[in-house]
Amino acid sequence: MILLVLTSVTVITLDFRGPGGVIGAVRSGAADVLSPVRGAADTVFGPVSDAFSGITGYGALEDENDVLWRRIEELEGDRLRAEDAEAELKALLRVNRLDRFTDLPSVSARVVGSPISNFEQTIQLDRGSDHGIGEDMPVVTGTGLIGRVVDVSGTRSIVRLITDPSSSVGVRLSRSGVLGVLEGVGPDRLLDLGLVDLETDVRERELLVTSGVDDSFFPGGIPVGRVRRATSTEGELQQDIAVAPVVDLGRLRFVKVIQTGSP
């Protein structure tokens, strides 16, 4: 028993010495070997899993359906209004020779695995370094940011979602331009926006986008979340702000990995 404990502690210490090496190779190899099995199991058990979820949450699904229909009508109106603004923005960016994240090269990938651990919020993609994906690249859907790549092998990659408790994203409030740090606190829970002082006017449903400041993993301007509530407590130095992700992270099927830098 003592030998096993010592071995475990040694392995943990080796892992702390840095990424890559033997341990990195073991992890990548194991994930590559299991990747086809996980993909096949997802195909076989996906419908069963969906039925399981449907049975346990039928009432919530009906309510959600009503909400979604209302949202479609609202979004159609927004889309029409946004077309004109989009054209103006493109022209301005072109004049100033600036890039938007939508203009950066990207790789499309399919989500083939849900989180294995009960403590981590990660997903597995069916594309890896063979397809130009590297560590720390941002991952988005058509709606906004979902996370960043934290581990890559030849044929698959692991993405840490923004809801993971160890995730933090530098963001900017769209109205005031104030910067803050958005941190995950676990699945099915609102994100926590920190470092916003008490004087800043923060409104409900205000959009947060990535700040794109130097040393950030994420290019600027990617939608991340909307403010759900903001409260100020006397004596505190910052506001308590809860944020809902713009992307439904429980229903990811296809995503894009933005190729910032080379893998």
Partner 1 sequence: MTLAARLPPLFVLAVMLHTAVLPQFRVAGVAPDLLLLLGIAAGIAAGPDRGAIVGFTAGLLADCFLQTPFGLSALTYSLVGYAVGMFQTTILHAALWIPVTTAVVASALGVVLFAVTGAVVGQAHLLSNRLVTVVLVVSLVNGLLFLFVARPVRWATTADLAPGLVLR
Q: Which residues bind partner 1 (CB under 8 A)?
A: 1, 4-5, 7-12, 14-16, 23, 26-27, 30-31, 34, 37-38, 40-42, 45-46, 48-49, 52, 113-120, 122, 150-151, 158, 160, 164-166, 185-189
Q: How far is the CB of 114 from partner 1 (least distance, A)?
A: 5
Beta carbon nearer to partner 1, 18 or 142: 18
User: Do 137 and 109 contact (CB within 8 A), yes or no?
Assistant: no
Beta carbon nearer to partner 1, 52 or 254: 52
Q: How far is the CB of 61 from partner 1 (least distance, A)?
A: 16
User: Do 189 and 167 contact (CB within 8 A), yes or no?
Assistant: no
Q: How far is the CB of 250 from partner 1 (least distance, A)?
A: 9
Beta carbon nearer to partner 1, 46 or 105: 46
Q: How far is the CB of 224 from partner 1 (least distance, A)?
A: 19
Beta carbon nearer to partner 1, 197 or 248: 248
